[in-house]
Amino acid sequence: MTDPDLSAAFGHPEDRATASAARPRDRISLRDHVLNVEIGAFQEERGSQQRLRFDIVCEVSGTGAPAHDDVDRILSYDTLVDAVDAALAEERLNLLETLAERIAGLLLQEPRAERVFVRIEKLDRGPYALGVEIVRSAGPERERGLAAPDMPRPVVAHLSNDAIADPRLPQWLDTLEEGGAPVVLTVTLPETPAPVAGASMPQRRIDLLALDQNAWVLAARDPRCLVVGSRTEIEHAIRQGRMLVWAPSKIVLDSPERPDAGPREPERLAAFLADTLGATHRVGIGADMPGGTRLETEAR
């Protein structure tokens, strides 16, 4: 094999970086960083941790001048470790590919980072290591110095089933929008009884799916509503100025910082989301909203 990428295919990412570099670059690396992580798409991988090994190489631009032994003028090794920790803290993931993408994306936000190699391997799935490796480069948006704005703080409104069915719903949503803050809507369990599983874990999933379904019922009542589930989707929708409805199963099941409340306590889930997003105001429309005001729906 004469192709340098092929000849280094099973080498360390440091060898891959060297073999595929169009021009010499400085590099910093993280080798053999092993963490216990809950990850995986299979049911047997849920509720338990497995060892992941992280190897990262980040190619950096030169400063054109000596660093004068000044840590503030370099890309610190801690940045690599912090990127791994931040990607793991966002939410539970099914795929190593997604985790690798998030780590690379975080590192490429650093002004000096030009190209990143990320290799992640599962060490406990057999008498071998199973893994992925990706290579990503800084894009033109980063090179122009464009940065994502700070996420606006939303209003979080928790709606009862009566409020969802009420013909005045569009007017209430209009009122929520008038304040100028993004609007995040949450729902309670539907009135139709959920199937009874007879075991706690399946019942929890059934109830969460019922909440997700009710989110879609609300979204069908007003074209402004966008159903979202993950923290990434929520933040993106808020930055886009969309009115969103939270389908909670993804975060409740997969986030490392899971709420204490379960699906049978939807008002507490709503309060958890409001706390997580730093809501400026919280309101219950025909429902209780911890720490918020309540708008009654009985009057016609």
pLDDT one-digit tens code per residue, 153-166? 999 999 999 999 99
15 and 76 in one domain? yes
| pLDDT at residue 2 in the model | 42
* CATH code for the domain in which residue 159 is found: 3.40.1160.10
Running DSSP on this structure, what letter comes out for residue 63? -
Looking at the DSSP bridge assignments, the partners of residue 136 are 116
Do 268 and 192 belong to one domain? yes
- Pick the closest to residue 207 from 157, 266, 156 (CA basis): 266
Whether 269 is in a domain gets the answer yes
Is the domain of 160 the same as that of 290?
yes
Q: How far apart are CA 287 and CA 161, in angstroms?
A: 9
Q: How many domains does the chain have?
A: 2
Question: Domain range holding 240?
Answer: 155-295
Q: Which of 75-79, 228-232, 236-240, 287-291 has the lowest mean pLDDT?
A: 75-79
User: What's the whole-number mean pLDDT along residues 229-247?
Assistant: 89
Predicted pLDDT at 1 = 38
Catalogue the active-site residues. Answer: 122
Does residue 163 share a domain with residue 137?
Answer: no
Task: Judge whether residue 122 has pLDDT over 80.
Answer: yes
* Higher pLDDT among residues 295 and 16, named by residue: 295
Query: In angstroms, how far apart are the furthest CA atoms of the chain?
Result: 78
Q: What is the mean pLDDT of residues 10-19?
A: 65
Tell me the two tokens of residue 176.
Answer: 């929520």
User: Among residues 116, 143, 170, which one ends one of the domains?
Assistant: 143
Closest C-alpha to 300, from 287, 281, 279, 286? 286
On whether the CB atoms of residues 220 and 169 are closer than 8 A, the answer is no
Which has more confidence, 15 or 201? 201
Alpha helices in 3-46 (DSSP H): 4-7, 13-20
Lowest mean pLDDT among 96-100, 141-145, 216-220: 141-145
Final residue belonging to a domain, choices 92, 114, 143? 143
Is the pLDDT assigned to residue 237 strictly greater than 50?
Answer: yes
Average pLDDT over residues 294-299: 80
pLDDT band at 147; cut points 50, 70, 90:
very low
For tokens 């099914």, the residue is 94
Other beta carbons less than 10 A from residue 247's beta carbon = 24
pLDDT in tens, 46-105: 888 999 999 999 998 765 445 454 444 557 788 899 899 989 987 788 889 999 999 999
Task: Indicate whether 300 belongs to any domain.
Answer: no
Can you give the pLDDT at residue 257?
63
- Nearest-Å Rg of the Cα atoms of the chain is 23
Which residue is associated with the tokens 């400085």? 26
Three-state SS for 68-89 is CCCHHHCCCHHHHHHHHHHHHH
pTM for the predicted model, two decimal places = 0.61
The DSSP H or E segment spanning 209 is helix 200-221
